[in-house]
């Protein structure tokens, strides 16, 4: 199945779909560092640029469209009730691209979108209501939506994200992937020799460990066996109650980019060609590969049942 990927970042969602047997023919992101990581690992089919500025005609037709679009409120556009409500948002751009394909008789068989956990409650529920309405009533997809936690798909990271799956066929029956028991811990993902720069100095340690209620409670916030959600601002020093710190050889340190990669389900063969700062941002933004792959397999099952699955 030919896949077009939007907001691809370093390719977490894409890697899951590749692992499940899909063919990514075109991808896009406007962050040159994310594009550098993507290219180093997946090839030159990613286009650098703002999706709002890429002409519709340059976006290839595909069987499946995937993307983790940034969440923006629609209500700021006013009280209008139409397709207009979403105009100016990145979701609208995705909808516009789908609309163009539908008009030309090239409707993708499935659409998979990822977003933050709070999407359904964002802007008092209006954001999701509008997304759902556009996908179903305007674009004619049968839509399924669920919050999945990465820790339920084999990685020791609590990461809840909203996944929206739409099928062109109204006959589609779909189940989100089954959870699997977690058999590893954050400690299993640590590098043996992480490098001195990741260890915290004695000077910064009290600030990092403090949570305003005393040292013992703060210490209990480090060395979690299941990591807190990796975030895009990991390059900054957060307090121990917000970020992931571990003790190794009696000293406290932050996670390395490679450990973040592992916690997001990337194999150690995954090339990290950018600075630590960019790598933290990219892994913090990524869709966990295990979740993406499980989801891609479930979508594949539904497409197979519908007789719509095509190899390559």
Ligand X SMILES: C[S@@+](CC[C@H](N)C(=O)[O-])C[C@H]1O[C@@H](n2cnc3c(N)ncnc32)[C@H](O)[C@@H]1O
Q: Does 164 bind ligand X (CB under 6 A)?
A: no
The reply to whether 110 sits near ligand X by the rule CB under 6 A is no
The single residue among 1, 3, 12, 293 that binds ligand X, judged by CB under 6 A, is 12
Cα 234 from Cα 209, distance rounded (Å): 16
Stretch that binds ligand X, among 23-31, 189-197, 214-222, 299-307 (CB under 6 A): 23-31
Site string for ligand X, 182-221 (x = CB under 6 A): ----------------------------------------
Give yes or no for residue 9 binding ligand X (CB under 6 A).
yes
Q: Are strands 110-116 and 64-67 parallel, antiparallel or unpaired?
A: parallel
Per rule CB under 6 A, is residue 293 in the interface with ligand X? no
- Of residues 29 and 221, the one with the C-beta less far from ligand X: 29
Min separation Cβ 308 and ligand X, Å: 24
Closest approach of ligand X to the CB of residue 204, in Å: 29
Q: How far apart are CA 310 and CA 312, in angstroms?
A: 6
Residue 208 to residue 227: CA distance in whole angstroms: 16
156 forms part of the interface with ligand X (CB under 6 A): no
145 is catalytic: no
Complex with ligand X: residue 286 or 295, whichever CB lies closer: 286
Position 97 contacts ligand X (CB under 6 A): no
Q: At 144, phi and psi to the nearest 5?
A: -125, 140
The footprint of ligand X on this chain (CB under 6 A) covers a number of residues equal to: 21
Provide CB contacts within 8 A for 307, sequence distance 6+. Answer: none
Please report, as ranges, the residues that interact with ligand X according to CB under 6 A: 7-13, 28-31, 34, 50-52, 68, 70, 90, 285-287
């Amino acid at each position: 199945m030919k896949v077009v990927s939007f907001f691809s970042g370093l390719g977490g969602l894409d890697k899951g779909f590749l692992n499940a047997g899909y063919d990514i023919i075109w991808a896009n992101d406007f962050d040159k560092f994310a594009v550098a990581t993507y290219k180093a690992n997946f090839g030159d089919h990613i286009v650098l640029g703002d999706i709002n500025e890429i002409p519709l005609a340059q976006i290839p037709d595909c069987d499946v469209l995937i993307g983790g679009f940034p969440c923006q409120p629609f209500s700021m556009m006013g009280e209008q009730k139409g397709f207009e409500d979403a105009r100016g948002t990145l979701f609208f751009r995705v909808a516009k691209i789908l609309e163009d394909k539908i008009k030309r008789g090239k409707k993708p068989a499935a659409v998979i979108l990822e977003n933050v956990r709070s999407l359904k409650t964002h802007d008092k529920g209006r954001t999701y209501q509008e997304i759902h309405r556009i996908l179903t009533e305007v674009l004619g997809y049968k839509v399924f939506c669920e919050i999945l936690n990465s820790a339920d798909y084999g990685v020791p990271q609590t990461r809840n994200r909203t996944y929206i799956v739409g099928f062109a066929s109204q006959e589609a029956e779909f189940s989100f992937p089954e959870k699997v028991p977690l058999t590893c811990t954050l400690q299993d993902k640590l590098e043996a020799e992480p490098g001195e720069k990741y260890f915290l100095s004695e000077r910064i340690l009290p600030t990092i460990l403090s949570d305003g209620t005393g040292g013992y409670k703060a210490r209990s916030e480090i060395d979690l066996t299941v990591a807190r959600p990796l975030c895009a601002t990991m390059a900054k020093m957060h307090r121990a109650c917000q970020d992931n710190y571990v003790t190794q050889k009696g000293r406290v340190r932050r996670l390395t980019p490679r450990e973040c990669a592992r916690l997001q389900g990337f194999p150690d063969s995954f090339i990290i060609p950018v600075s630590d700062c960019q790598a933290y941002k990219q892994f913090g933004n990524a869709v966990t590969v295990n979740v993406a792959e499980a989801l891609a397999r479930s979508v594949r099952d539904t497409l197979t049942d519908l007789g719509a699955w095509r190899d390559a």
